[in-house]
Structure formats: structure tokens, C-alpha cells
Amino acid sequence: MDRLNTLDFELPRYLAPFETRRLPTYRFDVLVVGSGVAGCSAALAAAAAGSSVAILAKDELIETNTHYAQGGVAAVLAPEDSFEAHVADTLEVGCGLCDADAVDRIVRGGPAAIERLIEAGVSFDRRADGDLDLSREGGHSHHRIVHSGGAATGIEIQRGLAESVRTHRDIALFTSCFAIDLVSGANGRVIGVLAWTSRSELVLFSAAQVVLATGGGGQLFRETTNPAIATGDGVAMAFRAGATLRDMEFFQFHPTCLYIAGAARVLVSEIVRGAGGVLLDKNRVRFMPEYHPAAELAPRDVVSRACFRRMVETNDTSVYLDLSGLERDPHELFPHISRICQYFDIDIKRDPIPVRPGAHYMVGGIAVDADGRTSVAGLWAVGECSSSGLHGANRMGSNSLLEGLVCGARAGERAAADGKDFPLIPIDSRMRVERPRGSSDVRLGIQDMTYSLKSLMWRQMGIVRSGAAIADAQQKLEFWARAVDRLATPEPRTLELQNMLIIARLAAIGAMAREESRGTHFREDFPETRPAWRAHTLLAPRLEGDNIRAVTLSRERVRESVAVR
């Protein structure tokens, strides 16, 4: 491992003031923060292993990134497919930064994960002969995408998993419960979570093991497919608790989001391009064959940059996804997308759909081992908030739900086992944290600052980056972070903004350090891939008392056994 630099990074250990003796406390063996595919899988596995489990959901149980996932789950189920082929495809798309062992382990867990979903009552699309209807997406060499309702897979998976945890006698659910901070005990071990309930009161959750499954941070960007809850909370919480983060500069942009000025961005799944949809510019010229031999089925980073460049070249606000050439009726194939487009008088069988790229998936995250353990004792991470080694520098479509299912179940099982060796440690009843409570002289416009952050990240940390733009962004982000920390009143919207600023600053540090272009990270001042940076970017906080004073930036070389793109 190469230590590159140690940078000043002032940050409070805890964002909200509290006194433990004044707060109600709930006690469980395993606490899962997040209710998407990874969180529910972890909770069900931990409960099956005999642990008492609680799930903290930031919103309603079904309001997750999983719910909005359209494409499906990648799994090797067809006789002409193989685990080796799925592994090879994933390594290729990951641009040399995948962990080969992690990829192999997760890919081989795919068939059993699909079977568990079916047993939980999840309904997948099937062919006339009753077999699963498998589709293909960008980067995949075979048809291996299991889907439901065409492009409504996430809705069905979330429904089935939510029902499973809701009816499990050993799982307690706390909805509309915003996790603020991880609570540490002796030697930095995580022993609980401070949270804000739907009744606007602080509570403590004490647990032998805490599993973060909080999803990503798409709300950092002005254009995003992610729901409003995706503000990077879990990654920021883990960093404040001392956890090492990995590859924070990598953020995937989905190339096709429905673009109607003033309307919320809606993902138009890659499965649509897999069925034969083609991308056109405003002159109705198909352009993807100019950029990649696989055209519309090229990896997402390639398609996103191509869409971005064509928008700039044609001076248009979008490109267009044309489904008129599909062999089957697109209204029947994609009823969910058809219904949404109809609200805007778009007939997807006749009218090209206006689309543009949007932030979609946080590829980097909390560094974890094969079981989901972080660098902090008592703390685990799964799903999008983690960096498991599966995705490398660019996630392949439909591998994320696979990761959540396989890694979530493994982490839940191992956390329950560890809980037997490390029983519940009570939170110190004398613990007291002081924090500024805002200013009566200066009022911050949290909504305006949040929008400014999102716009800055889109312009300067988006699809195409440069050293000068990143450096300018860093200065602004640091200034905003100091202002919010000193002046804002601790409440959920402010705390979300603080988390977003932490993630944005760390992503900028990683992007500035990585002087090359690889996968989702593209720098116009360093457009080539450099062998020296076939390595992970590690960011480790330096804790001093109740504050973080610096972040150590390191480079960890990838093992030579991993395939290089």
C-alpha cells in the first residue's frame, strides 16, 4: 500500500448533541440500517440464525433504491451461460479494479439468491413454456437478467422482501426513522445508533452488531435517478466512526433518464436498449456505433459519455431513445415505462423518448471484507453503501441487486454469529455530546445550499472532469461545510446536507488524486488509463477525541490475477 498524502479534514465525530441518560434506548442483537434488498436480506439471515433484529428505515419500508430498480437481477440460469462467463464480463466492465475472488463468490451465489426470492413470493416474468424469461443488458455476453413486469423488477422484489421482514416474528421495524450517527464504545467499537424518529425525538438503538445497508448518494447530483432519501448517510456515518472508505471518486451515471424540463427524472432501464432500443440525436441520427462496437449495449460509462458529448455537439438538452424498431409491442414489453411516458403524451411505440444521463450508482463506498466487515469493530456494510470488490471502476447492469442479495445474506449470517462471541455492550449512560445549535444572527438557506451543492457536483464532478474544476469544487465544498457545521440547527434536512458535503469532499479528494481515466472516472486532462493507478483509493479518517482532524489518502494495488481491460 502506498501512502500518498494526509490532508486536513475538520469534522465533528457526532453531528447532533445528545445525553444518553435522557434518551429512550432499544436493545437488539443485530441492528440493520436500511430496508432495501441488502438490508432485508441481512435482517432475514440474521433472524434465521437466531438473533433479535431491528430494521431502521429512513422512510416507509418500501421507499428504497431497490424499489426504483428497473432492469433486474443478473444470475447464471441459462444452460448456454456459465459462471466463468459472468465473472469475465464483470471483470471486463470493472476496468481492472474488481476483486476476482469477490466477483466469483457473488456470481456463484446468484441462482440460490433467485430461488430465495421465489420462495419469498417474488414473481418474475416467464416465457410461454414456464421458464424464466431472461434478458440481456450492456456488458453481459449472455441473456441472464431475471426481471419482473418488464422493467418493474425493483418494485416486485421490494414488495416480496418487505412482506417477509414485516411478518417475521424476530424482526422489529422502525420506519420513518433517520439514523444520525453510529455510537462508539471502548476502543472505537460500534455499539449502537443515534436516530431521529417520526415523532421528532432522539432515541438510541443499542446493538451487538450494526449492519449498514443505507444505499448510495445520487442526490449529490442535480440529475439523478435516485429517490430523495439517497443522500449518502451511511457512508458519512461510517467515516465519522473511523471506517476506511474506498474508491469514492467512482460514481456511475445511467445514460437514459427520461428528461422533461421541470419533471422528476425517471430511469428508462437498460433492458429497453437490450430489447433493441436505439439512441438518436436531435437530427434523428443513430450515434452509438461511432463510439463502441457494442453500440447501445456498451458499458454504461461509455454510453453516458457518448450521450453527453452528442448533447454538447448538437446543442440539445437531451438525446432520444427510439423503440419503434422493436419486434414486439413496447407497450406490452415495458408497461411501467409506457405508463409514465403517457403522462407526457409520449407514445413509446411511435415517439422517441427524450433522455439524458443522470447519477445512478455510487460505485465506491465503505471498504469491507468478504463477509461485509468494515475496518471498525462491530460495524458491517452491504449493498450500495459498501465497496465489496464486485464492481471495480464501473458497475455492470443488474449486478447490484445480485450483490445486495448475496452479500446481504452473508453479512447477516456472519453478524449474528459474531454477536454470540461479542454480546451486547451497554451504551454508557453518562455519555454526553455537545454541538453548536445554530446562530440567531445568521440563517442558512438549507434548500438553496443543497441545490447549489447538487449543481456544483453535476458541473464539476460529473460525467467529464478536470483537475481545475475539481480543485475549484473542493474550495467551495470546504467553505460550505464549515458554514453548515457552525451555523445550521441540527435537524434532518441539515444533517442530510452535512452528510452530502462529507461524501462530496471525499469524492473530490479521490478524483483529484486519480490522475487517469478509468471506468466511470473520466478526466479530460488525463484521458488515458495509467497502469500505476490500477489500484484502489483508500481514505481513512484520523480521529482525535470528538473530532476528525485529517484524512489519510492511500493507494492499494490490485492483485495481478484480476483481468485488465
Contact predicate 229/63, CB 8 Å: yes
How big is the CA angle at 457 (ends 453 and 462), to the nearest 5 degrees?
Answer: 165
Distance CA 319, CA 259 (A): 9
How big is the CA angle at 88 (ends 86 and 94), to the nearest 5 degrees?
Answer: 100
Distance CA 85, CA 345 (A): 41
Distance CA 51, CA 49 (A): 6
Q: What is the DSSP code (8-state) at residue 68?
A: G
Catalytically active residues are 300
Instruction: Indicate the SS3 state at residue 57.
Output: coil
What angle do the packed helices 492-513 and 233-240 form, to 10 degrees?
80
Distance CA 275, CA 328 (A): 9
How big is the CA angle at 283 (ends 281 and 289), to the nearest 5 degrees?
Answer: 45
Farthest-apart Cα atoms in the chain, separation: 70
Contact predicate 392/88, CB 8 Å: no
Closest CA to 139 of 516, 312, 337, 392: 392
CA–CA distances in Å: residue 275 to residues 187, 302, 346: 54, 19, 19
Start-to-end CA distance of the chain, whole Å, equals 22
Distance CA 337, CA 343 (A): 10
Alpha-carbon dihedral 118, 121, 124, 125, rounded to 10 degrees:
130
Distance CA 279, CA 292 (A): 13
Distance CA 297, CA 93 (A): 12
Strands across the sheet with 134-135, in order?
73-74, 145-146, 134-135
Sign of the C-alpha dihedral, residues 108, 130, 38, 64? positive
Residue 329 falls in which region: left (phi positive, over 0), alpha (psi -120 to 50) or beta: beta
Instruction: Indicate the SS3 state at residue 480.
Output: helix
Distance CA 448, CA 293 (A): 43
Distance CA 495, CA 202 (A): 13
With b for 16 or more beta-carbon neighbours within 10 A and e for fewer, the 379-401 pattern comes to bbbbbbbbbbbbbbbbbbbbbbb
Task: Please count the other Cβ atoms lying within 10 Å of the Cβ belonging to residue 111.
Answer: 13
Instruction: Indicate the SS3 state at residue 505.
Output: helix
